[in-house]
Amino acid sequence: MKVSARNLIPATIKQITQGAVNSEVVMEIAPGVELVSIITKHSVENLGLKEGSKVKAMVKASSVMVVTD
Amino acid sequence: MKVSARNLIPATIKQITQGAVNSEVVMEIAPGVELVSIITKHSVENLGLKEGSKVKAMVKASSVMVVTD
Amino acid sequence: MKVSARNLIPATIKQITQGAVNSEVVMEIAPGVELVSIITKHSVENLGLKEGSKVKAMVKASSVMVVTD
Amino acid sequence: MKVSARNLIPATIKQITQGAVNSEVVMEIAPGVELVSIITKHSVENLGLKEGSKVKAMVKASSVMVVTD
Amino acid sequence: MKVSARNLIPATIKQITQGAVNSEVVMEIAPGVELVSIITKHSVENLGLKEGSKVKAMVKASSVMVVTD
Amino acid sequence: MKVSARNLIPATIKQITQGAVNSEVVMEIAPGVELVSIITKHSVENLGLKEGSKVKAMVKASSVMVVTD
């Protein structure tokens, strides 16, 4: 399976907060560097995500912005 | 200035490809780990982005997906 | 700090509804013109947002659609 | 026709820049306040958009971020 | 009313799950083919959506990815 | 490989328009029902997409809106 999304970053899940519809998934992509995702509660269950899971964070390039100081 | 977007990742610009309207900005966030962004050509010029620029990649949490093997 | 996002609109927060994961933030950008945002509950707390706060609404240009009659 | 997108802002088109695939549409939503949209060139043609057109800018609430000073 | 969003797919609502802020709307676009949307609870109520409602699912082209085997 | 994105729709590519940075990919998901995607030119080449390719269109649930008459 190959996806057009340009960004696939290896990550480890640190924390999951469940809501009624959405869940917040906090991942670590490097020591001290977190990446946060909001996905549906259904997907958290369907993928069997839990703290410690090795996953990839995926982001479409058109969703990435650039910031300067 | 503080933003609600949860993800701000330090990065260095490696390559910029200009189109008529949009530009592709390839960044490096760790040795060998790239992050690609599509922003407007106008923003590339307005922020004075070029190869080697130290920036931050910014992503809203609701734009981040999770992938498992 | 400069961002590639093209749209930054001065706004005043009128109402915040908190969920377990996400919050709805209703802003006013002109008399009678509202703009609604969904951000994480964590960001509402981290930015100290409350009714009456003077903020800016930020939108990436690729997220804006155009409608005609 | 009613849409779930929470944000529909009356606007006037000021400038359109055409690329091969995407177009940049600069709108004015209040005197001196611009809103920029990237849509397909096909949609610009299909909707018959041109400078001076009275339109509405539409944004899904989950695409709106909040910024503080 | 015409929209720049390129994708408008006829659908029937099968299930709605309400959260405090967001709702999950499961639609059927063909026998056995589902399409899931997250919109605000406010929009579900404002549009009077319920199971069995005939609607259209709308997606901006820049939000669609492509996957191969 | 499993993804959190809730929507994966089988499709056949009908037409690809290449720009300098982005490409427009028109797919058919049912007889007469098209789905249009904007992805980077790089992804079109990397995935080897061409007219007639059997693919899946992928959409995150938070990018799907609902429209009523």
ipTM of the complex: 0.98
Query: In the block, which residue shows the tokens 């947002």?
Result: C49
Domains of chain F are 7-59 (2.40.50.100)
Cross-chain CB nearest to B65 (options F3, F19, F42): F3
How far is E53 from C34, CA to CA, in rounded Å? 28
How far is A38 from B66, CA to CA, in rounded Å? 9
Cα-based angle D14, D17, D19 (whole degrees, multiple of 5)? 160
In chain B, which among 23-52 make CB contacts under 8 A with chain D? 40, 42
F6-57 pLDDT per residue, tens = 999 999 999 999 999 999 999 999 999 999 999 999 999 999 999 999 999 9
CA distance B1 to chain D (A): 4
Give the global pTM. Answer: 0.98
Q: Do C4 and B61 touch (CB under 8 A)?
A: no
The verdict on C1 touching D (C-beta cutoff 8 Å) is: no
How far is B5 from C42, CA to CA, in rounded Å? 10
In this structure, which amino acid lies at residue A46?
N
For F34, the token pair is 């098209």
The verdict on B7 touching A (C-beta cutoff 8 Å) is: yes
- Tell me the CA distances in angstroms from E52 to C1, E7, E59, one per residue in order: 48, 21, 21
Query: In the block, which residue shows the tokens 């929209």?
Result: E3
- Tell me the CA distances in angstroms from E1 to C3, C42, D38, one per residue in order: 33, 37, 19
A1-37 pLDDT per residue, tens = 899 999 999 999 999 999 999 999 999 999 999 999 9
Q: Minimal Cα distance from A59: which residue of E?
A: E65
